[in-house]
Amino acid sequence: MSVNFRRYIGGSGQRLNFYLSLAACTVLAFYGYDQGVFGNVIIGGPFLKQFGYPDDNIISTMTSVYNLGCFGGAISTIFLGDILGRPRTLLTGTTWIFVGAIIQACSFTRAQMYVGRVVAGVGTGMNTSTAGIYQSETAKFTSRGKLVVLQMAMCIFGFMVSNWLTFGFSFLSGSVSWRFPLAFQIFFCSIIYLLCPFLPESPRLLIRKGRNKEALDVLAKLAGKDVSTEDKAVQNLYKAIQAAFDLEMASGVSWTDMLRGKAPVGAVRRMILGCGMQAMNQLSGINITSYYFAYVLIHSVKVSEELSRILSCAGSVNYLAFSLLSYWTIERFGRRRMMMFSSAGICTCFIVITIALSLMEKGQNDFTLGVVAILFFFLFFSLFAIGCLGVPWLYPTEINTLELRTKGAAIAAATNWIINYMVVQVTPPGVANLGWKFWIVWISLSGSFVVVTYLFYPETSNRTLEDIDQFFDTNPGLFIFNNTLATQLERPDQFVESEARRVAEIENSHLDGKEAVQLAEYV
């Protein structure tokens, strides 16, 4: 009989999985909202007047200190993430965001705004480091990519909401035009507060903490309505996770071991791959167009404030539509292919944008060239959304070992935030001082991502988290582009057979092909 533990919101099965996804998606919706909201309030007259008409350097600092807070929050989950657990970490991060939102909305001086931005950033760093790994550890591997992409789509939904809300409030006079949009961050906090106290802990983390009966109960509830802990598929999944965990514990790795070069085969490499993917996400230039799209349109394309807001709203709708398209493409075509295609596409967009802006600065047809630049900014959003948006957030949660998954995802997110800080800090001065030459940097970077992904990054789509452990146990070479285990989209038969063999060894029995497939669907 099933062991009776606490009840969760939604009960079990699809409804429970829905609420788990809703919590993760709300975290990313807030992240998207906060990306868009500040970039839109900083171009408004009432905001600029309140803070003494700050110059480009002060504007960039006021915007970017948020990312320093995010960096600190992400780093904190390395030490607190496993101790608090996934739901409690999200609740802790949300409390930081709540306090930061209040400080920002009530600010009268630059110092107050700096503090509010940093405090909210700490919470965002904690939550974004946790939401993806929480989703990956509770989802079936066949759905893992789609669910994380759905989170990214919700991120863009939040971004779209911020654009339309700030556009609407821009018609109001006085400080309410910027105070209310900043205060609206509290709405997202309320959803997390309502959901997370009633969600289960990650079963993989429970196994790591030795709470095996509770882990088995959670696996049964995630598997479906009225599924018993004695269900064969649930038992097989539990044993597969336990076997993988026992194997990793036998060759456990500490931070000291890693610094001394004594980590198990592939552990450091896997962490670097996750960090590199997050770095590519930020160095693509997306946060130039997320935080500063209206600013760039005003100062580079020379449009009016009102038109820049309208175009920002339209761009966010376009961005959302294509982020939803990636729900199908990221699993159908895999992480590697979509990352390379997306990177090549955004590189092409930056080439055209650079040419258009350079000709505008030379006094040629401003209107036609402005239209071309705007169209390719829109195309940039589209091409980024179908690959470079979701893959970098999904990849670190898949590529790291079970023991280092929390630490690896946190360091990857911290990498994202510190590079995010750099991009957000340099953009206003770069646009003002370099003009069209500023965009050459992003051409070079986005073009390099195609080569880097092709040479070094193994496919993680259609693999269980344990499959990826097995791949790196083979000590693959540095370059993986000619390794079929690393590059083929379909799950390799070798992994299916190995998983069935591991479970069979634990049970001292044999799984037939049907049971092996059933097991794979639950991992």
CB-based contact 96:87 (threshold 8 Å):
no
Q: Mean pLDDT, the chain, as a whole number? A: 85
Question: What is the spatial distance between Cα 87 and Cα 130, in angstroms, rounded to a whole number?
Answer: 9
The residue length of the chain stands at: 523
Q: Where are the beta strands (DSSP E) in 369-473?
A: none
Question: What is the spatial distance between Cα 463 and Cα 461, in angstroms, rounded to a whole number?
Answer: 5
Per-residue pLDDT at 236:
81
Res. 135: pLDDT tops 50? yes
3-state helix, strand and coil shares in percent for the chain, rounded to the nearest 5: 80, 0, 20
Per-residue pLDDT at 240:
79
Structural Rg of the chain based on CA atoms: 23
More confident residue, 466 or 122: 122
Per-residue pLDDT at 261:
65
Q: Answer yes or no: pTM beyond 0.85.
A: no
Res. 137: pLDDT tops 70? yes
% of the chain exceeding 90 in pLDDT: 36
Q: Where are the beta strands (DSSP E) in 157-280?
A: none
Res. 145: pLDDT tops 90? no
- What mean pLDDT is predicted for residues 394-415? 75
Per-residue pLDDT at 5:
60
Per-residue pLDDT at 263:
66
Confidence at 35, pLDDT banded by 50, 70, 90: confident
- What mean pLDDT is predicted for residues 43-57? 91
Per-residue pLDDT at 265:
67
Number of H helices, E strands in the chain: 25, 0
Confidence at 177, pLDDT banded by 50, 70, 90: very high
> 285's torsion region: left (phi>0), alpha (psi -120 to 50) or beta?
left
* CA 295 remoteness from chain centre: 24
Per-residue pLDDT at 491:
82
Per-residue pLDDT at 142:
63
Which segment of 129-138, 159-168, 267-276 scores lowest on mean pLDDT?
129-138
Residue 393 is encoded by which pair of tokens? 């957030």
- What mean pLDDT is predicted for residues 104-119? 96
Residue 459 is encoded by which pair of tokens? 């496919």
More confident residue, 414 or 458: 458
Q: At what angle do helices 13-41 and 141-169 cross, to 10 degrees?
A: 40
| 3-class DSSP string for 201-243 | CCHHHHHHCCCHHHHHHHHHHHHCCCCCCCCHHHHHHHHHHHH
Confidence at 514, pLDDT banded by 50, 70, 90: very low
What letters, b where the CB count within 10 A reaches 16 and e where it falls short, cover 56-92? beebbbbbbbbbbbbbbbbbbbbebbbebbbbbbbbb
Per-residue pLDDT at 519:
45
Residue 520 is encoded by which pair of tokens? 């794979």
Which segment of 146-150, 167-171, 235-239 scores lowest on mean pLDDT?
146-150
List, for residues 320-352, the tens digit of each pLDDT value: 888 888 777 877 888 899 999 999 999 999 999
List, for residues 441-466, the tens digit of each pLDDT value: 999 999 999 999 999 999 988 887 77
Res. 190: pLDDT tops 90? yes
Which segment of 179-188, 339-348, 389-398, 496-505 scores lowest on mean pLDDT?
496-505
Q: What is the DSSP letter of 248?
A: H
CB-based contact 100:126 (threshold 8 Å):
no
Confidence at 283, pLDDT banded by 50, 70, 90: very high
Question: What is the spatial distance between Cα 481 and Cα 157, in angstroms, rounded to a whole number?
Answer: 35
Res. 505: pLDDT tops 80? no
Per-residue pLDDT at 100:
96
Question: What is the spatial distance between Cα 119 and Cα 124, in angstroms, rounded to a whole number?
Answer: 9
Greatest mean pLDDT among 13-22, 78-87, 447-456: 447-456
Res. 487: pLDDT tops 70? yes
List, for residues 287-306, the tens digit of each pLDDT value: 888 888 988 999 899 899 88
Q: Which residue has the tokens 């600010």?
A: 107
Torsion of CA 26, 32, 33, 36, to 10 degrees: 180
% of the chain exceeding 70 in pLDDT: 89
